[in-house]
Chain A
Amino acid sequence: MTDPADLDALYREIVLDHHRNPRNSDAIDAPTHEGEAINPFCGDEVHIKIQLQDGGIKELSITGVGCSISQASASLMGEEIKGKTAEQITGLAEQFNALMSGSADSMQSDLDVLKGVKRYPVRIKCALLAWSALDDALSS
């Protein structure tokens, strides 16, 4: 059961801002890795291109279509992973999964603004979509 406070926690102003003004949406010149994730049930899409240099993400571009949660999560993720190594990203992905499943209450990062999603089980896959796209890119 949800109450109005849950709805406010889901649609935090910062989340809606990332949805309206997604960060890192411009194309990049020399991507080394590309990936995408599509949710066949709702048609949401996230496409990601990254340029890895010296083991770290130097540049990235994220585009997509879909609900506010899937697109805001992609934008927030992009901000978080910039400059990080593949190993650090694996750690972040695990922490974010834990935040969504409710097994952790905070990951001490800006991604915490998405923790309201865990009260909406059907929306968790929206928040995780970008991370699938990232995983797809890094394993490409």
Chain B
Amino acid sequence: MSGPHGFDIDAIRKQFPILDVEVNGHPLVYLDTAATSQKPQVVIDAISDYYSRSNSNVHRGVHTLSQQATDIYEETREKTRALINAADAREIIYVRGTTEAINLVASTYGRQNVGEGDEVIVTAMEHHSNIVPWQILCGEKGADLKVVPMDENGDLIMEEFDRLLSDRTKIVAVVHLSNALGTINPVKEMFQKAHAVGAVTLLDGAQSAPHMAIDVRDLDCDFLAFSGHKIYGPTGIGILYGKYDLLSQMPPYQGGGEMIASVTFEKTIYAELPAKFEAGTPHIAGTAGLGAAIDFVNQVGLDNVAAHEKSLLEYGTERIGSINGVNLIGTAKHRSGVLSFVVEGVHPHDVGTVLDSQGIAIRAGHHCAQPVMAHFGIPATVRASFGMYNTTDEIDRLYEGVQQVFEVFG
């Protein structure tokens, strides 16, 4: 099966060794990429090669290996800059993942700029990681957390967003692609409106980064957070992008080695960006893996990935949505990557166990988005999520798996 732009699904699948694994006597059908993507061999090799040949600490050794480690570390920063079209590599901060990136902004920019009576706006479809840090901040400062509601399809109600914006709005933090519903939000428009009232914007790109090209300058977001492990890279490494002027004015997040220019017991002068936000020995092997992942994704082409996944989602929506007794949750106009559904009379965990017995990996639960579940009046959903390596045959396996669920629970 070859796509319109030379997208060769068989060749892509061959690069992911885990896809050859059998689960419970069946070839694995991995439909949980929104939780974490699988890793291509080049990423696995990059991490292994780093530890085998270049392992050393960064920025502090005069010896050759330290220089190699530093080169790998900084090359990935440049690759990340190019991936999201940032203006300057110093705007790329390594963190553990999306969660840490958002917490960093809330604890530094947020603490410095949000005060009593101010407001932070999020949406009804945020992951808990883009709710709780703001709740903590608002609680500490006596500020208010405002929520843009969504409609029954899982689209944001933009009139409500317009109504919430005011000169009290200090931060607008929005998920790009909902992990529970697949909704793609009109973030460029939202950020324009947020800037018009003087607010700073944060884009949660955890789910969107692996599915579409993100251009931080076109979207004009002030901060972008995403995770390496969802974009075919390793766990434990993620990115905070921030505009240079904002990052420069923010206080540090953690104190320690690497983030200083000079230390005496009387006074510490902080290092320049990006080191100011990278205290301690970082996850260097993670950056080696992330760099390989970015190369890999670029080679395949995010546009090709997006087109392939769009066709998977259309096929899945038709195939799974047509099953009597299955209700799709989240039918927004612009969606990607995620097919969330419930099976009438059967709890998602039971669906998950029956599917697992056939080697089909899906996520069953609230997807760390309990407010989304509450909105639809359900405790949980079954979520099949797609990556570049999934096929329509696998959606057929899911279809058959759901039939099996009916047989067990009939």
Docked Cα-Cα span, A65 to B349, in Å, equals 12
Does the CB pair B380–A42 fall under 8 Å?
A: yes
Docked Cα-Cα span, A66 to B380, in Å, equals 9
Does the CB pair A2–B379 fall under 8 Å?
A: no
Does the CB pair B356–A11 fall under 8 Å?
A: no
Docked Cα-Cα span, A67 to B365, in Å, equals 11
B: interface residue count bin: 20 to 34
Question: Residue B6 at the A interface, CB < 8 A?
Answer: no
Shortest B337–chain A CB gap in Å is 23
- Which residues in window 252-278 of B have CB below 8 A to A? none
Does the CB pair A42–B366 fall under 8 Å?
A: yes
Does the CB pair A42–B409 fall under 8 Å?
A: no
Take A10-B353, A66-B347, A68-B350 as given contacts and tell me if A42 and B365 are in contact as well, using a CB distance cutoff of 8 Å. yes
Question: Residue B214 at the A interface, CB < 8 A?
Answer: no
Take A43-B370, A43-B380, A123-B353 as given contacts and tell me if A1 and B347 are in contact as well, using a CB distance cutoff of 8 Å. no
The residues of B that contact A126 with a CB separation of less than 8 Å are 349
Does the CB pair B354–A7 fall under 8 Å?
A: yes
Question: Residue B1 at the A interface, CB < 8 A?
Answer: no
The residues of B that contact A7 with a CB separation of less than 8 Å are 353-354, 357, 408
The residues of A that contact B380 with a CB separation of less than 8 Å are 42-43
- A-contact 0/1 string along B21-54, CB 8 Å cutoff: 0011100000000000000000000000000000
Docked Cα-Cα span, A1 to B365, in Å, equals 22
Shortest A83–chain B CB gap in Å is 30
Take A11-B409, A42-B365, A43-B379 as given contacts and tell me if A67 and B347 are in contact as well, using a CB distance cutoff of 8 Å. yes
Does the CB pair A3–B24 fall under 8 Å?
A: yes
Does the CB pair A1–B24 fall under 8 Å?
A: yes
Does the CB pair A43–B373 fall under 8 Å?
A: yes
Shortest B239–chain A CB gap in Å is 27
The residues of B that contact A65 with a CB separation of less than 8 Å are 379
Does the CB pair A123–B357 fall under 8 Å?
A: no
- Which residues in window 315-350 of B have CB below 8 A to A? 346-350
**Most A C-beta atoms less than 10 A away, residue of B346, B349, B366:** B349
Q: Which of B353, B364, B379 is close to A120, meaning CB atoms less than 8 Å apart?
A: B353
Does the CB pair A2–B357 fall under 8 Å?
A: yes
Does the CB pair A16–B409 fall under 8 Å?
A: yes
- Nearest B residue to A68, CB-CB: B350
Shortest A36–chain B CB gap in Å is 15
- Which residues in window 71-89 of A have CB below 8 A to B? none
The residues of A that contact B23 with a CB separation of less than 8 Å are 1
- Nearest A residue to B365, CB-CB: A42
Does the CB pair A2–B349 fall under 8 Å?
A: no
Take A41-B365, A123-B353 as given contacts and tell me if A1 and B25 are in contact as well, using a CB distance cutoff of 8 Å. yes
Does the CB pair B357–A42 fall under 8 Å?
A: no
Question: Residue A6 at the B interface, CB < 8 A?
Answer: yes
Docked Cα-Cα span, A43 to B377, in Å, equals 13
Question: Residue A69 at the B interface, CB < 8 A?
Answer: yes
**Most B C-beta atoms less than 10 A away, residue of A2, A44, A69, A120:** A2
Shortest B273–chain A CB gap in Å is 38
Take A7-B408, A67-B350, A123-B349 as given contacts and tell me if A2 and B365 are in contact as well, using a CB distance cutoff of 8 Å. no
Take A11-B409, A43-B380 as given contacts and tell me if A67 and B349 are in contact as well, using a CB distance cutoff of 8 Å. yes
- Nearest A residue to B25, CB-CB: A3
**Most A C-beta atoms less than 10 A away, residue of B348, B353, B370, B373:** B353
Docked Cα-Cα span, A44 to B373, in Å, equals 13
The residues of A that contact B364 with a CB separation of less than 8 Å are 42
The residues of A that contact B373 with a CB separation of less than 8 Å are 43
Docked Cα-Cα span, A67 to B346, in Å, equals 7
**Closest CB pairs A-B (n = 9):** A67-B347, A67-B349, A43-B379, A7-B357, A68-B350, A2-B24, A67-B350, A2-B357, A42-B365
A-B pairs with beta carbons under 8 Å apart, 12 shown: A1-B23, A2-B356, A4-B357, A7-B354, A11-B408, A16-B409, A42-B349, A42-B364, A66-B379, A67-B349, A69-B350, A126-B349
